[in-house]
Structure formats: C-alpha cells, structure tokens
Amino acid sequence: MTPASPHLKNYAKALLAGAAIATLVVNIAPGTYYDAIEWHPFDSAPLYRLRLFYPGFNVATFVSSLLLPIFVLLIGKEIWEAFVLEHGGLRGKLAFAPLAMVLSGMAASAIVWQILTAFLETAEEAVDATGWVMPFGSDMVLAFFFGRLIFGKGHAALQVLLFMCILDGLLGLIASGFAAPANNNMRVLWLILPVVAASYGYFKLTRPQLSLTISERQRQSAGKLWPWLVIGFFCWVGVSASGLPPTLAFLPLLPAMMHGTHSFGLFAEAEGYLTDPLNRLSHFFMGPVTLILFLFGLTHGALDLGAFGPTTWIMLGALWLGKPLGVLVAAGVLKAIGKPLPNRLNFKEISYIAGLMAIGFTLPLVALETALPGGAMQEAARLGLGLSLLIGPALVLLARVQPPRTPRGAKPPRQ
C-alpha cells in the first residue's frame, strides 16, 4: 500500500479552522452568525416541497446538501474500491473483522444512548426522537489526523482506522435516513431516478469502454467527465427528494463508473496517476474538498458553550463509552474464536483505533437536523459532538507514555 494522500491532513485542518471560527463568532455575536448562515436569498418553498436544500435554501443547507456529498463521494469511492478491487482491504473474508467491530460499536453506542436518555433526558419531545443514530458516524478526517500522531506515518493501523471510520460514517448516514420520520411513504419512488441515471451512465459510457472493438476516439469520448456531472445532478435530485440524506446522493455513481483494477490502499497517493474516469473525478475534487470541509465547519460546527445540557452528556457517553466498548467487545470475540484482527494488529492497537472512533463530528452533524428536536436539544448535542474531539489529544498524550507496538525488526514509523 502506498502512503495516504497528504490532502487528509489538510482536510482536518480546514474542518477544525472552520469550526473554531464559527464557535468564536457564535459565542460573541450569535445573532449575526445565525442571520448569516440562515439567510434565505429567495423563496425556496418549491425546493422545500421537493426536499431539496431541506428545510430551506440558505448558506448552511447549500453546503450540507450540495457540497458535502462531494466529500462523501470521495470516501465512498475508497470503501467501494476496498470491497471490489484486487488486493482491496475489505475484499472477501477481509471485510468480516472490520465490519463486525463497526456494527458492534454502532449497536453499543445506540444502547448507551437509550440508557442515558432514560436516566438523564427530561424533555418530553425526546421520547420519539431518533437521536440514537447520532453517535454512529465516526469522523474519518479527524480520527486520521490524531491517528497519524499516535501511530506515525505509514503504520498499518491507519488503513484499518480509515476503513472502520468510513464504514461507520456511511452506515450511520443510511441508518439516519431510514430512521427519520417519513411524511410521505411514496417519496421512496424518487429513488428510481438515480437508478435510471446511473444505469444510463453504465450502459452508455462505461460499457462501451470495455469493448475490444471500440476505437480510440470513441474511447476518449466515452471517458469524458462532464456527462457524469449531469448524471450526478439527477442522482442528487432523486436521493434528496426521496427523503434520504442528500449527502448520499452521488454514491450511485460508484458501481456505474469505470474504475481501476487494483487497490493501493485508502486515499493512496498512487491513485493520482490513474486515468480511469472514477479516479480522475476523485482527483479533480480532492483539492476543492478542503474548502468544502472548511465551509462545513463554518456553517455547522459552531459550538454554543452555553448550550451544555443532558443531551451533551448523552452524546459523550454514547461516543466515549458505547462506541469503544462495542468495538473492543467484538475484537475480543474475534480473538477468542481464532479470527485474526485486521492487518494483524494487536489488541492495544485496536484499542487506540476504538478510542479514535469515539470522535464524532462531521457526518453526525448531518443527521442532527432530523434526529433531534430543534433548539436547545440540538445545540446541546452539537456541543457534545464538538467536545468528543478532546479524546483525540488525550489518546495522543497516552501514546507518548504507552506507544503502540512497533513490529519486530521494523523501525519506528516517522511522525
């Protein structure tokens, strides 16, 4: 596996910078901040009825509904290739251990959320809320940022960390979409649109490139990217209008687009030299995603320090207690039945990964709008998500005292 792209470190810095600026402004001039991100430049009622830019077009929904799906497309591409390409890290039996640990972590965090809610939450509107989906999404960007400080550049644990965080995030988005109350069950029919659009792309653009009789001019024409942008737009409309999170909108492109044949690892630098349409599209967006994550932190990462409440404790308990506990229980069961842990990591290294998965920020913020009632409860949960980042520096300090194992005969990884 080649080293991970340096863009990942830039993503973390951009996200943290946006959230830090937003937190500073919202605690000094909250009115100015909310007026800016919730400003409606035009009447978006027709879009609202279609659930496009739901619950209305403003700066915040523009970023989360239209721009953030590009980031999800990038992480979705990496996990898709890990499942289907030769030497993919999740191909065949290799997927069993990471998937088992991710699902166990999700289940444990949901159970802890429900238990703490029963004891701590007094708000009447919390009874029917679907807040238990909130701790599902581990923050891949921030977890990798702190993971690299713990394990060092190029450590095998970083690939496992990325695998599990992306799986957790995508499964969490899907779960939050299906758990959200449905106002109209017929909305699911909108999913026909992305299926048709992606199928058109496969049969008209991808399949011709697989033909041995195609001319070079036809191959170049079929390999253009702009038709996929049009197809992606139709996918976005269909997924958004169906009521599922619009962040999932571009994922139908993955099985439809022509992709590489060999996996070099998640976010591998070598992918930048591949010329298939999927890798070209991914490479095209790698830079802009830095700005997208900065804008997401700026519009969704504002932590109101005065919003501390029961939901803050519930969020922290589900993330800091439930998520790592579930991952470690699954790892213990795997060892007990003789199944190898991913990349032959030891239990101590898996423990650090479990702790880093307790960082929940980017993707859970997407679910916040539908998972919890608005107002104080949402802001308390947002604060809990922000405070969950503190486990990252804590684990880095712990690793300075008790560093993860370095394989016998190998040099310690470079920082």
**Region 266-275 average pLDDT:** 69
Looking at the chain, the whole-number percentage of residues with pLDDT higher than 90 is 48
pLDDT at 408: 42
Distance of CA 367 to the CA centre of its chain: 11
pLDDT at 351: 95
**Region 63-85 average pLDDT:** 90
> Is 192 a member of any domain?
no
**Region 254-271 average pLDDT:** 75
Q: Point out which residues pair with 287 in neighbouring strands.
A: none
**413 pLDDT above the threshold of 70:** no
> Is 85 a member of any domain?
yes
pLDDT at 212: 67
User: Where does the pLDDT of residue 414 fall: very low under 50, low under 70, confident under 90, or very high at 90 and above?
Assistant: very low
**356 pLDDT above the threshold of 90:** yes
Per the CB < 8 A criterion, the answer to whether 295 and 70 are in contact is no
> Is 234 a member of any domain?
no
The first and second tokens of residue 353, run together, are 């990964």
pLDDT at 415: 43
Average pLDDT, the chain: 86
Per the CB < 8 A criterion, the answer to whether 395 and 356 are in contact is yes
**92 pLDDT above the threshold of 70:** yes
Question: Does residue 129 sit in helix, strand or coil?
Answer: coil
Q: Is-above-0.75 flag for pTM?
A: yes
Q: Give me the domain span that covers residue 127.
A: 7-181+256-401
Structural domain tally of the chain?
1
> Is 249 a member of any domain?
no
Which has more pLDDT, 7 or 30?
Answer: 30
Q: Which of 140, 157, 168 is nearest to 318 (CA)?
A: 168
Question: Does residue 249 sit in helix, strand or coil?
Answer: coil
**First CA to last CA distance, the chain:** 18
The most confident of the ranges 53-67, 121-135, 166-180, 213-227 is 53-67
Least confident of 83-92, 209-218, 237-246: 209-218
pLDDT at 270: 66
> Is 415 a member of any domain?
no
160: CATH: 1.20.1530.10
pLDDT at 33: 93
> Is 262 a member of any domain?
yes
The most confident of the ranges 85-89, 315-319, 377-381, 401-405 is 315-319
Collect all residues with Cβ–Cβ distance below 8 Å to 374 and sequence separation of at least 6.
none
**124 pLDDT above the threshold of 90:** no
141 conformational bin, left if phi > 0, alpha if psi -120 to 50, beta if neither: alpha
> Is 52 a member of any domain?
yes
Residue 326 neighbours by CB distance under 10 Å: 24
CA angle 189, 54, 57 (to 5 degrees): 130
**125 pLDDT above the threshold of 70:** no
pLDDT at 29: 93
**Region 145-149 average pLDDT:** 93
Per the CB < 8 A criterion, the answer to whether 89 and 159 are in contact is yes
Q: What is the dihedral of CA 330, 331, 334, 339, to 10 degrees?
A: 140
Sequential DSSP letters for 278-311: HHHHHHHHHTHHHHHHHHHHHHH----TT---HH
Per the CB < 8 A criterion, the answer to whether 355 and 324 are in contact is yes
User: Where does the pLDDT of residue 195 fall: very low under 50, low under 70, confident under 90, or very high at 90 and above?
Assistant: very high
pLDDT at 129: 63
Which has more pLDDT, 369 or 288?
Answer: 288
Collect all residues with Cβ–Cβ distance below 8 Å to 408 and sequence separation of at least 6.
none
**Region 106-125 average pLDDT:** 83
> Is 367 a member of any domain?
yes
- Residue 403 Cα distances to 106, 107, 159, angstroms: 27, 29, 18
Which has more pLDDT, 404 or 5?
Answer: 404
pLDDT at 290: 94
